[in-house]
Copies of this chain bind each other. A is one copy, B any other.
């Protein structure tokens, strides 16, 4: 059975939601669980009969703590101890809903990066209109990127799509403001030249509409733009749903209409609910690491454990490692 370390103290609703989510995952047989955190706090939250192991830690990384400060002062935190267990092969993956910048910093520090990966990236899975998914990376870790970083994201995203989504030749696009290559900005134009030369199934620039229409499998962007794009998406989806809710409640006629359409609304809500996706893997570090939204609830954590298990079983990291080694072009870029 795959064993996953869960950072019990990270997240807006920690430790309660994290512990409950880990317990759910265990009960559903997704994975064996090691829960890290203060045993006096998390111990009473766990059903004694469950087989979840607790590793006692005393330090926590705060949600708004600077990653560099955390890296210096919080080596004994629940977060870093989870990575340490992974490094020692006592678990096969880590799930955390804590400070994502600190999680990246500890993952890089404790696990190390694969050869040729300068910037590990957070890769989110997002729903498209065709009922499928697209991968977006980087979704937040790396705010000021160089063109070579985007090329590394393209290679890692390709490996992710192949090994996890089972797509034979993933369509890779660079997120931009227009489809014409001469548009874009300095970063995308330079990245375009490099990515075009990598031998991937590169489809050029993609726009917001392309992602959601299902015209692309992997969307490459710097972490600032990627994060803004995802948060704008969440914002639009949420206000549209709020609009329906408020207007439906206004009159008897619309309330009746809602009853007839309830299944459609429920299906949509499920599709755009980030908790269904669990979390996002950090690609490029030497170990499976799933980073969850700070406001994750127990369902998110459970799904994130399932995701981590899936990445372990499908050998996601081996495929990234192998893929990166094959890209001598990336080596030459790095040497520049």
Contact = CB atoms under 8 A, between A and B. Distances in A.
B260 A253 contact: yes
B129 A242 contact: yes
A145 to B, nearest CB: 9
A237 interface: yes
A261 to B, nearest CB: 4
A212 B268 CA distance: 20
Given A208-B235, A212-B238, A232-B232, 8 more contacts: A143-B177, A177-B224, A177-B231, A208-B236, A211-B232, A240-B268, A257-B264, A258-B260
Nearest to A64: B180
B257 A235 contact: no
Interface in A151-185: 175-178, 180, 182-185
Interface of A: 64, 66, 128-129, 140, 143-144, 175-178, 180, 182-186, 188, 207-213, 223-225, 227-240, 242-244, 247-248, 253-254, 256-261, 263-264, 267-268, 271-272
Q: Copies of this chain, how many?
A: 2
Given A177-B223, A259-B257, A260-B260, A239 B184 contact: no
A177 B240 contact: no
B212 A143 contact: no
Given A231-B207, A259-B257, A239 B128 contact: yes
A269 to B, nearest CB: 11
Contact of A143 (B66, B185, B254): B185
A273 to B, nearest CB: 13
Contact of A268 (B210, B243, B260, B264): B243
B254 A261 contact: yes
A144 B177 CA distance: 12
22 contacts: A128-B239, A176-B224, A176-B228, A177-B223, A188-B224, A207-B231, A208-B231, A209-B234, A209-B238, A213-B239, A229-B232, A232-B232, A236-B236, A237-B240, A244-B268, A247-B268, A248-B261, A257-B257, A257-B258, A258-B260, A258-B261, A261-B261
Contacts of A186: 143-144
A284 to B, nearest CB: 20
Contacts of A227: 177-178
Max chain B CB contacts within 10 Å: which of A140, A178, A234? A178
A235 B261 contact: no
A227 B186 CA distance: 15
